[in-house]
Amino acid sequence: MAVDTAVVWFRRDLRLHDNEALLEAADAEELVPVYAFDPREYGERAFGGDDSFRFEKTGAHRARFRRESVVDLRERLRERDSELVVRHDTPERVVPAVAKVVDADEVHFATRPLPEEMGVENAVRRRLRGLDVTPRRHWTHTLYHLNDLPVEYTEISDTYTSFRKTVENRATVREPLPEPELPPAPVDAVGAGSVPSLDEIGPGEPPDDDRAAVAFDGGESAGLARLERYLFEEDRLREYKQTRNGLVGQGFSSKLSAWLNEGCLSPRRVRREVKRYERERVANDSTYWLLFELIWRDFFQFQFAKHGADFFRPGGIRGRDGIHWREDDAQFRRWAAGETGIPFVDAAMRELNRAGYQSNRARQNAASFLANNLRIDWRRGAAYYETQLVDYDPASNYGNWAYIAGVGNDNRDRYFNIVKQANKYDGDGEYVTHWIPELSEVPPRKVHEPWTMSEQEQAEHGVQLGIDYPEPMIDLEESYRKLR
């Protein structure tokens, strides 16, 4: 039976399509949608403990994306004669306060089984208890629904291939849910509130750099447009498997990660569009491969549900405590600033800082350099990515970092031979010169190892090492010898 009044508390599910929390809440006679910008998510982390390295938790790239996503959500709700109540305060203060004023019977929200997210959720639930409001939580962010896993999530395999085969063979992906008709939103008594500016939220405006691969405009509208563009307008999916290791430009991969992670796009909607593309255009290895990558995303989500905070330990879920992780502020800062003197790493880090994004290939190499060549605590690198990435997600980020550092879901050491990778994936040096203009005159055969140039060659190619561009901060070969 429909209740009188429901509240839907939006979290990282900033969309109207395929949103179980919204759909079920919309059964009520009246529905009040709410979003809270949690001050603890910005600035130096109020959440984390000593292990958190005290980086700004959400940097400007993601803060802008999120703010735009909330603005878009509010517009979409208004177009449907609804409204979004927006506050700049903790959810455990905002949500129960709104529920109380509108006399809600239920509060619906999406859950994410991650330590900080669960902490907030539990705080909200505790405060709702005194109000006689029923909390209703929903699972909205993965391709496979938690309840459809063939085995309990606590029993899933820690190996990707085995997890993938199990779900592909023994589970079905549900069809995306329809967007609901929205009941009236009686917000007068609470007041809709205004969306805080980026300065009020904390980090201010991110750099505006036209070298960035994509303008990541936050929101469901932009996310759906990106999906349509990548698949149908530009017809790129047919070659995704061949292009996905690219480094420069918008078209080599889907660039959907930020919209997926803030919940502007549902992975089931992406899958539905891939299936449509397969019917209308072509079905091949590439069309399958995008789904294969979305299962990687699911894998880390369910791995975090299973292992929880163990992922954040130095030795990771494998308890691999024999590695001595170094602290070296000076070296760390050079890595973070893109001043290591190893061009492939520097290009990646400059792209991260300026654009808030890196391709998967760039992430793997930059992470491997910090964790394996420098042997600096991998969690410090992951925390830096947490600040900078527009598409940061705790499970995907820490899961991938742990994997590369050899403490995650893999039994092998995963170090990358950076120069070999650079020559393979950036043979003409386009990526490194895109982000490191100091090297723009250096020919491709030298650009990934500028330290092999004589002084005369440096003069010929317009770069003096140690002046215009750094000398390499370590001897790469020597560092590989230690790892072998």
Ligand X SMILES: Cc1cc2nc3c(=O)[nH]c(=O)nc-3n(C[C@H](O)[C@H](O)[C@H](O)COP(=O)(O)OP(=O)(O)OC[C@H]3O[C@@H](n4cnc5c(N)ncnc54)[C@H](O)[C@@H]3O)c2cc1C
CB 244 within 8 A of CB 360: yes
Binding to ligand X in span 278-307, by CB under 6 A: 290, 293-294, 296-297, 300
- Closest approach of ligand X to the CB of residue 91, in Å: 22
Task: With CA atoms as reference, report the closest residue to 414 among 482, 383, 368.
Answer: 368
Residue 236 near ligand X by CB under 6 A: no
What CA–CA distances, in Å, run from 250 to 32, 269, 387, 404?
38, 21, 22, 25
**Coil, helix or strand at residue 38:** coil
Q: Which of 401, 415, 416, 435 binds ligand X (CB under 6 A)?
A: 401
- Closer to ligand X at the Cβ: 82 or 364? 364
- Closest approach of ligand X to the CB of residue 355, in Å: 12
Residue 377 near ligand X by CB under 6 A: no
- Closer to ligand X at the Cβ: 25 or 60? 60
- Closest approach of ligand X to the CB of residue 477, in Å: 23
Q: Which of 247, 305, 389, 442 binds ligand X (CB under 6 A)?
A: 389
Task: With CA atoms as reference, report the closest residue to 345 among 210, 472, 209.
Answer: 472
Task: With CA atoms as reference, report the closest residue to 297 among 112, 72, 53.
Answer: 112
CB 272: neighbour CB atoms within 10 A? 16
What CA–CA distances, in Å, run from 309 to 32, 51, 110?
33, 12, 20
- Closer to ligand X at the Cβ: 82 or 388? 388
Residue 66 near ligand X by CB under 6 A: no
35, containing H or E segment: strand 30-36
- Closest approach of ligand X to the CB of residue 98, in Å: 30
Residue 367 near ligand X by CB under 6 A: yes
In 246-392, alpha helices (H) = 257-261, 267-280, 285-307, 329-337, 343-355, 360-368, 378-388
Q: Is 445 exposed, middle or buried (0-12, 13-18, 19+ CB in 10 A)?
A: exposed
- Closest approach of ligand X to the CB of residue 207, in Å: 19
Q: In what order do the strands lie in the sheet with 134-138?
A: 85-87, 30-36, 5-10, 106-110, 134-138
Q: Which of 360, 423, 440, 479 binds ligand X (CB under 6 A)?
A: 360
- Closest approach of ligand X to the CB of residue 296, in Å: 4
Residue 254 near ligand X by CB under 6 A: yes
Q: List Cβ neighbours of 187 (8 Å cut-off, separation of 6 or more).
A: 32, 83, 85, 102
Phi, psi (degrees; rounded to nearest 5) at 83: -160, 160
Q: Which of 287, 400, 421, 458 binds ligand X (CB under 6 A)?
A: 400
Residue 95 near ligand X by CB under 6 A: no
Q: Which of 42, 65, 144, 392 binds ligand X (CB under 6 A)?
A: 392
- Closer to ligand X at the Cβ: 296 or 451? 296
Binding to ligand X in span 403-432, by CB under 6 A: 404
- Closest approach of ligand X to the CB of residue 229, in Å: 13
Stretch that binds ligand X, among 76-84, 108-116, 394-402, 440-448 (CB under 6 A): 394-402
Task: With CA atoms as reference, report the closest residue to 67 among 205, 216, 200, 198.
Answer: 198
Residue 383 near ligand X by CB under 6 A: no
**CA-angle at 419, arms to 414 and 424, nearest 5°:** 90
Residue 134 near ligand X by CB under 6 A: no
Residues contributing to the site for ligand X (CB under 6 A):
244, 253-257, 260-261, 290, 293-294, 296-297, 300, 359-360, 363-364, 367, 385, 389, 391-393, 396-397, 400-401, 404
